[in-house]
Chain A
C-alpha cells in the first residue's frame, strides 16, 4: 500500500526554485525593503536589507517599540519584538 504518490515531489521543485530563500527573498523582499528604506525618516537603512528596515533603528529602549509610520497612517514594528528577547530567536518548534 503506497502512502503517497511518487509524482508529487516534482511539482514542488519547479516552483520552489523561484520562491526559495535564494530566489524570492533575495529579490522580492529586498526590493520592498529598499523601497521602504528610501523613505525611512529614522535614519539610514541597515546594511543587510533582508532584516526589517526598522530593526534597531528606533530611539526607544528596545528599538522595536518606537513605531515608524512612514507616509501612511499605519504604525509598524509592533510585532517581532518578543523574538529579540529570546536567545534562540527561532520561532519554530
Chain B
C-alpha cells in the first residue's frame, strides 16, 4: 500500500458536475482529492481487505442472531424496548440488506483492524462506485496510472444486483434529508441503480412521509409506501414522532430494522466478546465495564450512536489528544483500543470496505490531517497496480 502523488486532471470539477457529483468540495476545500492515489497489490486487496470484509459480515450476522433474542444485549445497545419484537421479526423474516461499509485501519502490513461498521446509512457510495472508477479509466488514458492498473470496485454492479433481488418490478420510495446536497446526491445515485434493476421509483423528503389513521405510511400523493429506502438513521426514526408507528406499518425498509443493531458502536465490544482476539478486531469494552480498565489510560472513546466522527475522543495516557464535537453520547460510550491510523505524506488514511448484495465489493480511502475521520475528510481514489 502506497500513496502516490499524481497530477490532477484540470477538468475534474467539470467532469464531476456532469455526472451529478455536486458535493465534490467542502466550501473552498476539495472533498474529492485526486492529487494522489493509493496503490495496492492484488494480494493486499484479496487477502487483507476482501476476505476479512466477508468474514466480518458473517460475524455481524451471528451477533444479530444472538442480539434479537437477548434483552440484555438490546438494552445494552440502548435500543428502545418498543422496537425489540419488530427488530427480531425483521431478522427472522430475513429482510434483505442492500449495503454497508466497514472502516478499517490498514497500512499494508498485518491484518486490517475494524474501527467501526457503517451498517445503516453509509455514504460516499457514489464517489466510490462511480467517480473513482471514471477517474481510473481516465487516469489510464492520460498515463496518470499504469496501463494495467485495476480497481477493487464492483460496488455499482452489486448495488444493482441487490436492488434486483430486493424488489425488481416493485415500486420503491427513497427518502432522506434531501435539502442536504450530499444526501440528495446519494439518493439520486441509489435511485439510478434501482431504476437499472427494474424498480419504479419515487423520491421524497423524510418530513413528507404521511401516516394514515390506520398507521400506514404514504407518499405525497397518498400512495402507500410498501418498499422504502431511507437515508436516515434508525435511531432517529425510532425517536421521531412517527416512530411509534414503525412496528405496525406494512412497509419493508431498506436497510432493514435489524440493521439498527449493527449501526450501534456497542457491536465493537460485543464482537470482541464473541470473537476474542480475532485478528481483524480491536479490544473494545463498554465504557462502564470494569474490563475496560485493561485498556489503561489510552483508548478511543466513541458514543453508541455517532456519525462522521462526532463526539469521538482520542485519549492518550488519560488526556484527550483529539476530539470532535457533536450532539451524541447520551446513550453511553464504548472504549476501543487505539490503532493509530497510518500516516502517508502527513495525512491519516482510513479505508472503507464495502459490502453490497451480500458480497464484499469495493474500497474507498479517506484522508484527514487529524487522526479522527470526519465528514470533511477528503476522498482519494485507489488503484491495484501489482
CA distance A22 to B195 in the complex (A): 18
**CB contact between A92 and one of B20, B123, B207 (< 8 Å): that residue:** B123
CA distance A4 to B160 in the complex (A): 14
Please tell me if A17 contacts chain B, counting CB pairs below 8 Å. yes
CA distance A2 to B157 in the complex (A): 14
The smallest beta-carbon distance between B347 and chain A, in angstroms, is 21
A-facing mask of B34-57, CB < 8 A → 1, else 0?
A: 000000001001000000000000
Quick one: given A3-B150, A21-B22, A93-B121, are A79 and B206 in contact (CB under 8 Å)?
yes
Q: Are A88 and B375 in contact (CB under 8 A)?
A: yes
Q: Which residues of A contact B59 (CB under 8 A)?
A: none
Q: Are B181 and A89 in contact (CB under 8 A)?
A: no
**CB contact between B210 and one of A17, A74, A88 (< 8 Å): that residue:** A74
Residue of A15, A50, A87 most packed against chain B (CB within 10 A):
A15
Quick one: given A3-B153, A9-B133, A20-B19, are A91 and B176 in contact (CB under 8 Å)?
yes
The smallest beta-carbon distance between B233 and chain A, in angstroms, is 6
Q: Are A17 and B241 in contact (CB under 8 A)?
A: no
Q: Which residues of A contact B183 (CB under 8 A)?
A: 90-92
**CB contact between A32 and one of B20, B152, B179, B220 (< 8 Å): that residue:** B220
Q: Are A20 and B156 in contact (CB under 8 A)?
A: no
CA distance A92 to B263 in the complex (A): 11
Please tell me if B226 contacts chain A, counting CB pairs below 8 Å. no
Please tell me if A38 contacts chain B, counting CB pairs below 8 Å. no
Q: Are B188 and A19 in contact (CB under 8 A)?
A: yes
Q: Are A1 and B191 in contact (CB under 8 A)?
A: no
Q: Which of B88-96, B211-219, B281-289 is the contact stretch?
A: B211-219
**CB contact between B137 and one of A9, A54, A64 (< 8 Å): that residue:** A9
Please tell me if B196 contacts chain A, counting CB pairs below 8 Å. yes
Q: Are A79 and B137 in contact (CB under 8 A)?
A: no
Within 8 A of B (CB), among A39-93: 48, 50-55, 64-65, 67, 72-83, 85-93
Q: Are B207 and A15 in contact (CB under 8 A)?
A: no
Q: Which residues of A contact B351 (CB under 8 A)?
A: none
A-facing mask of B144-183, CB < 8 A → 1, else 0?
A: 0000001111101100000000000000000111111111
Q: Are A82 and B207 in contact (CB under 8 A)?
A: no
Quick one: given A4-B154, A78-B242, are A83 and B177 in contact (CB under 8 Å)?
yes
Quick one: given A3-B151, A86-B327, A93-B307, are A74 and B207 in contact (CB under 8 Å)?
no
Could you list which residues of chain A lie within 8 angstroms of chain B, going by C-beta atoms? Answer: 1-6, 8-9, 11-13, 15-17, 19-25, 28-29, 32, 36, 48, 50-55, 64-65, 67, 72-83, 85-93
What are 21 of the A-B contact pairs (CB < 8 Å)? A1-B42, A3-B153, A5-B154, A9-B134, A12-B19, A12-B156, A13-B19, A16-B20, A19-B191, A20-B188, A25-B203, A29-B204, A48-B179, A55-B207, A80-B177, A80-B205, A81-B240, A86-B236, A91-B232, A91-B307, A93-B123
**Across the A-B interface, the 8 shortest Cβ-Cβ residue pairs:** A20-B20, A92-B123, A74-B210, A78-B242, A80-B206, A80-B207, A82-B236, A52-B207
